[in-house]
Structure 1
Amino acid sequence: MNKLIKICMILFFSSITSSCSFLLKKSYGINDLTSFDKENYEDFLAFIPDTINYISIISSKEQFRSKIESGIDNNNKNDFGQPIQILYFNEDSLISFHANCHAKGSLRGLDWNINNRFESFVPISAVPIKHLDYTLNKTTYIYPEIKNKDKKYTIIFFWTNMMTKLSKEAFKIVMKNLSDNNIDKSQYSLYIVNTDYYFSTIK
C-alpha cells in the first residue's frame, strides 16, 4: 500500500480508490515526501508571522517513533502517529488533543472547528483526555528542547511537509483561537515540531 493511500485512510478511515486518491492528493495538497528538505522546512517557518513567539524543533524519525509508542494502546498509538497534531498542556497535564483524523474531512480540506471545538480556549478536546494517559513530561523526555517553567500553558504543534497545505491551515486555526480569545503570549509557550524525517520513511 503506497504512502498516499495510507494517508487517505488516516484522514477518512476508509478504503480509497485510485481516482479518489488523485482528487484527494490535489485537494489536500499531499506531497510525495522522500527526505527532509531544509528549504521546504524554512519556507514553512517563513509563513509564520514575526509577531508569533515559538520554538521550532526538527524531530528525528526515532523521536517521533518513540512518541507513537508512548500510546498505552493501539487506539492511542494511532492518534499519536498522525501527521498533524495539536496538544495543549496546563503545566504537566494534557488538557486538549487534536489530530487530522479527528477533523471533519471534505474535498475542500479539513474542518478543525467541528462542533465548535476551537471557539473557546482551551479548545475542546477531540478525544477524551483520560483515555490518552499522556503528560508534558513524557514529551520533554523525547524532546528535551521542550521546556516550560514559567508559562501556564504549553502548546505543541506537530506538522509535516507531506501535508504542507493542511499543516498551514491547522496552524492558522491555533493562532486564530489564541487571538479570538485574547490569550496573551505571556500565558503560553508554543513549540512546532517538524516530522519530515519520520514521514519520508513511509512507503
Structure 2
Amino acid sequence: MPPTDRTPNATHVDAVAEPAKPQRADGRRNQARVLEEAFAAFAAHGAAVSIREIARRAGVSTGTVSRHFPTKEALFQAVALHRIEHLVHSAEDIAAREDPATAFFTFFALLVRQSAADHAVGDALTGVGFDLQAAASTAIRDFGAAMTDLLTAAQRAGAVRDDADTADVKALIAGCIARDGDGAAQQRMIEIARDGLRPRSA
C-alpha cells in the first residue's frame, strides 16, 4: 500500500525537532569554571583581557569557552551584569537606611571604590570595552533607575545641584577611578567630586 499523507516516513521524522538536551555535568562544571576565572580576570584587567587568557586560567580550551559564550562580549556581559545587579541591591539598601541628602553620596563613593577595585565594574559603568546599554538588560535598566532615583532625591533635598544628571555622575566616577594613587588619593577625588556636585549657593 503506497504511503499517504498520514503515513510517517523518514522525511516527516527528520522534520520533527528534537527537544534540547540538558547540559551534561562536565559541561556545567566547565561553564562554572570559566565564569569563576572570568570574574577574577575581568576584575583584575577589565574588558581588555583575552579569551585565551581566561581559558588558560580555567584550564580549558578556547573552544570550550566559545561553546558556552560565543563571543568575549557575551562573557563580559555575563560577568559585568552580575556585578551591576549587586550594585542595584546596594543602592536599594542605601536608599532604605539613609536620608536622601546623604544616600546619593554614599552610593557615589561605593561606585568609585567598587570600580577601582574591580575593573569589570569600572569598564561597565564607564562604557569601556563593550556597550552594555546595547544589551538592553533588566540589570542595566534597574541600575540606571536606581542612580536616577538617588540623584533626584538628593536634588530635591537640596544636597546636589539641580543641573547635574546621571551622565555627569558617570563622568565624575570615571575621573575618580582614573586617578592613580593610594586610598587617600581616591578619597580626595571623591571629596572633590562631592564638592563639585553641591549646589552652587553652598
TM-score (norm 1): 0.24
Which structure has more RCO (C-alpha within 8 Å, separation ≥ 6)?
1
Larger Rg computed on CA atoms = 2
Structure number with higher helix proportion: 2
